[in-house]
A and B are shown apart, each in its own frame.
Chain A
Amino acid sequence: MAQDMMKKVPVREQAPEVRAHNFEEVCLGYNEAEAVAEAERCLNCKNPMCVKGCPVSINIPGFIQEIKAGNYKGAYDVINQSSSLPAVCGRVCPQETQCEGKCVRGVKGEAVSIGKLERFTADWAAENGIKPTVTAEPKDKKVAVIGSGPAGLTCAGDLAKKGYSVTIFEALHKAGGVLAYGIPEFRLPKDKVVRHEIENVKGLGVNIETDVIIGKTLKLDDLFKKEGFSAVFVGSGAGLPKFMHIPGEQLNGVFSANEYLTRSNLMKAFSEDSPTPVMRGKKTVVVGGGNVAMDAARTALRLGSEVHIVYRRSMEELPARREEVIHAEHEGIIFNLLTNPVEILGDEKGWVKGVRCIRMELGEPDQSGRRRPVEVQGSEFDIEADTVIMSLGTSPNPLIASTTEGIETDRKGCIVADEEKGGVTTKEGVFAGGDAVTGAATVILAMGAGKSAAAAIDEYLSGKD
């Protein structure tokens, strides 16, 4: 096969018309030959820009060189030095704005497919029973991690590798946080990938206690006073879903993306065998343009609905990961861009029957630098729908801050933590990171925060001796 070195080795995917009707993973990943061919494209730069683009600073050229040499175990060991969740990151990181966005190959052609190579390495390791290991001597200090999402798992994994005794407290009945309840099966398989990565973290000696809601079941202070922990990392994630506060939002058939996705992902409502109900609409409108909106839209599609995404800006500003948008389009999701809902319309029984929208145009740039959408007067029109899914982001869950003295929050309710110093909060011994601090962001940013918090906690506890 003659390879065009300017282009990525294409990755095999389920055909759109097939995958639109199942929950199997869309992207099938590289096989060995494809991975080696793609690895050949890496220029092994002396000053690798890709590493600077990675929130957890994986030695990217390092692991790619190992793949090139056919030493996949070596590749895994390189990644393992920096990341506890490579099978996850290879699948859900927004590579185009991070590592791949900085790749020199990308200047003239297509960037090296770093994400797909990471995924290949992690999947190869899983298939060959290779696990991360602890090399440090055990320490006699206990660290509590609140939340088992990407921030918590990373922080716990790193601390365990340093020899600490770590317990993760998870509020839900399954570990994984957003990896379990938020990101759908077809993008991140739960058994094959998420559970396996969690087992790896447990294999490092991390203890995970589910069904413990810190702030309710136990107070954060109890962790220090009663349970004997010396430091706490708060990675409790995003919280309460936002709504638009437009008329009709309380009608039957209006859901938050969190609810819709939790029912389907965590509680397996997509499967006919599950006792959990989920609304299987005929025509669904998803409001929003982030990754969560794409996930909700593609879930609704797979549950048998026609799906419209309504987003108030244009395709250019759509914040979702590029691959998800392309996948969604191929699967037949209809994008109503520069459109904003003004009212949800209901029938006489109080069920959704449509969404009244207004057209938007882009005006002057706002604080975020994106051009601000402005309503076009008199351009209202209706979209017929029986289901509306609001995917507008979340505001932080107040459970921990409101039940713990000394933890400051900002105007938005996010925990105040110094990201430069590994997430130190205003309370001694308490560190925080991920969505609980930044508001809704990405898996990899949360992992980056978990990682730097682990380093800061290690420093803090070492200083206490």
Chain B
Amino acid sequence: MYEILKMKHLCANNYEMRVKAPRIASSCLPGQFLIVIPDPEGERIPLTIADYDREAGTVDIVFQTIGASTYRMAEFKEGDSFSDIAGPLGRPSELTEMSEEELKSKKIVFIAGGVGAAPVYPQAKWLKEHGITSDVIMGFRTKDIIFWEDRMQEVANVHVTTDDGSYGRNGMVTKCLEDLISEGHEYDYCVVIGPMIMMKFACLLTQKLGIKTIVSMNPIMVDGTGMCGACRVTVGGEVKFACVDGPEFDGSLIDFDEAMRRQTLYKTEEGRKLLEFQEGDTHTCGGRK
């Protein structure tokens, strides 16, 4: 059993959890993910590891309620336990494999979109622990859904931007990056994590600017160990499995339009299950029952 030591409603439909998982905490690295199974008969939910404490044996995750299974997760309280958490899965960020000299020679910027701030955090923190302070652009739609600004500031130079200008800088993350560059910042390595559409446009921009860019893909997954092939992504014309070959890939090689289309695969099915979950038996959707 994996005890929930902390459960916090961050904002809107975002939640943060700290879970006791000593083996995962002792072997994970930034960039890797885990799979949470809130209901043993139900879905396996892949979530990028947002922080970890090897000594305390804990991992932090941040999730968004989007389907029936994540809504169920949001009902968990401190002291409750998950029967199953598996990980760490996927390959660690390539930053963790670079030598110190190589890292020091790079000018690194992270771009975090919305809930993408959570998976960016352990990478920035890891760099900080290795003596490197990176820049982090945190983009949010609006002021009310900002989270982890303070936490991120402890490990990086943070630039918050909101789409509606209600907090920090005004505009999308792409505009923020262009502004920072015109203000004199220089970057030659970028990691973008967030909604697929945001990663797509960020990559288009960084390609134009000639900045090498890594993205973390979040396709539909089932087992997360390379068995089902649901998470296949076309990278440079080749089919890769995000769970074992990724989740991080060179953003300039990703077919984002295909990846976004594949994400919608179960939209209606998921929507139906969600309505059933929220409305119980009253919801029949005019369909089977």
Residues of A whose CB lies within 8 Å of any CB of B are 171-174, 181, 210-213, 216-219, 239-241, 243, 245, 249-250, 252-253, 255-256, 258-259, 262-263, 267-268, 272, 274-279, 349-350, 394, 397-399
Give Cα A267–Cα B39 distance, bound, in whole angstroms.
10
Give Cα A456–Cα B289 distance, bound, in whole angstroms.
54
| Interface residues of chain B: helix, strand, loop or mixed (majority) | mixed
Tell me which of A171, A277, A349, A350 contacts B225 (CB under 8 A).
Answer: A171
Q: Indicate whether A277 sits within 8 Å of B266 (C-beta atoms), given known contacts A239-B227, A243-B229, A259-B228.
A: yes
Give Cα A398–Cα B262 distance, bound, in whole angstroms.
25
> Which residues on the A side are within 8 Å of B42 (C-beta)?
267, 274-276
Mark the stretch among B82-90, B120-128, B152-160, B198-206 that contacts chain A. Answer: B82-90
Tell me which of B89, B228, B262 contacts A252 (CB under 8 A).
Answer: B262
8 A-B contacts, Cβ less than 8 Å apart?
Answer: A213-B87, A240-B227, A243-B229, A263-B222, A267-B44, A267-B222, A272-B289, A398-B244
Are A275's CB and B225's CB within 8 A? no
16 new A-B contacts, CB < 8 A, other than A172-B223, A213-B87, are A171-B223, A211-B84, A213-B86, A217-B23, A219-B27, A241-B227, A243-B232, A252-B261, A262-B222, A275-B67, A277-B269, A277-B273, A279-B266, A398-B244, A399-B225, A399-B244
B34-61 vs A, CB cutoff 8 Å, 1 = contact: the mask equals: 0001011111100000000000000000
**A302: shortest Cβ distance to chain B, in Å?**
14
Are A259's CB and B229's CB within 8 A? yes
Give Cα A239–Cα B265 distance, bound, in whole angstroms.
23
Q: Indicate whether A275 sits within 8 Å of B72 (C-beta atoms), given known contacts A173-B83, A211-B84, A259-B222.
A: yes
Are B229's CB and A272's CB within 8 A? no
> Which residues on the A side are within 8 Å of B244 (C-beta)?
240, 397-399
Give Cα A184–Cα B264 distance, bound, in whole angstroms.
27
Are A212's CB and B23's CB within 8 A? yes
> A172, A213, A258, A277: which has the most chain B beta carbons within 10 Å?
A277
Are B230's CB and A259's CB within 8 A? yes
Give Cα A279–Cα B86 distance, bound, in whole angstroms.
25
Are B88's CB and A216's CB within 8 A? yes
Are A173's CB and B227's CB within 8 A? no
Are A173's CB and B44's CB within 8 A? yes
List residues of B (122-162) whose CB comes within 8 Å of A's CBs. Answer: none
List residues of B (198-249) whose CB comes within 8 Å of A's CBs. Answer: 222-223, 225-230, 232, 234, 239, 241, 244
Are B226's CB and A399's CB within 8 A? yes
> Which residues on the A side are within 8 Å of B84 (C-beta)?
173, 210-211
Give Cα A279–Cα B270 distance, bound, in whole angstroms.
11
Are A250's CB and B87's CB within 8 A? no
Are A258's CB and B229's CB within 8 A? yes
> B23, B89, B262: which has the most chain A beta carbons within 10 Å?
B23
B69 at the interface (CB under 8 A from A): yes
**A93: shortest Cβ distance to chain B, in Å?**
23
| Count of A-B contacts judged by CB separation below 8 Å | 124
> Which residues on the B side are within 8 Å of A172 (C-beta)?
86, 223, 225
Are A256's CB and B262's CB within 8 A? no
Total contacting residues, chain B, CB less than 8 A? 46
Give Cα A344–Cα B40 distance, bound, in whole angstroms.
35
B24 at the interface (CB under 8 A from A): yes
Give Cα A394–Cα B86 distance, bound, in whole angstroms.
23
Are A272's CB and B228's CB within 8 A? no
Are A262's CB and B37's CB within 8 A? no
B277 at the interface (CB under 8 A from A): yes
List residues of B (155-174) whose CB comes within 8 Å of A's CBs. Answer: none
Give Cα A272–Cα B264 distance, bound, in whole angstroms.
21
> B228, B234, B239: which has the most chain A beta carbons within 10 Å?
B228
Are B87's CB and A276's CB within 8 A? no
Are A250's CB and B41's CB within 8 A? no
Are A240's CB and B23's CB within 8 A? no
**A42: shortest Cβ distance to chain B, in Å?**
40
Give Cα A268–Cα B37 distance, bound, in whole angstroms.
14
Q: 8 smallest A-B Cβ distances: which pairs?
A: A277-B269, A259-B228, A256-B229, A173-B84, A211-B86, A275-B42, A277-B266, A241-B229
> Which residues on the A side are within 8 Å of B270 (C-beta)?
277
B10 at the interface (CB under 8 A from A): no
CB closest residue in chain B, given A278: B269
**B280: shortest Cβ distance to chain A, in Å?**
12
> Which residues on the A side are within 8 Å of B223 (C-beta)?
171-172, 181, 262
Tell me which of A174, A262, A277 contacts B228 (CB under 8 A).
Answer: A262
Are B68's CB and A275's CB within 8 A? yes
B258 at the interface (CB under 8 A from A): yes
Give Cα A258–Cα B41 distance, bound, in whole angstroms.
17
Are A217's CB and B86's CB within 8 A? yes
Give Cα A272–Cα B276 distance, bound, in whole angstroms.
10
CB closest residue in chain A, given B90: A216
Give Cα A263–Cα B273 distance, bound, in whole angstroms.
15
Tell me which of A210, A213, A218, A350 contacts B89 (CB under 8 A).
Answer: A213
CB closest residue in chain A, given B233: A250
CB closest residue in chain A, given B259: A250
Are A250's CB and B264's CB within 8 A? no
**A257: shortest Cβ distance to chain B, in Å?**
9
> Which residues on the B side are within 8 Å of A250 (C-beta)?
232, 234, 239, 258, 262
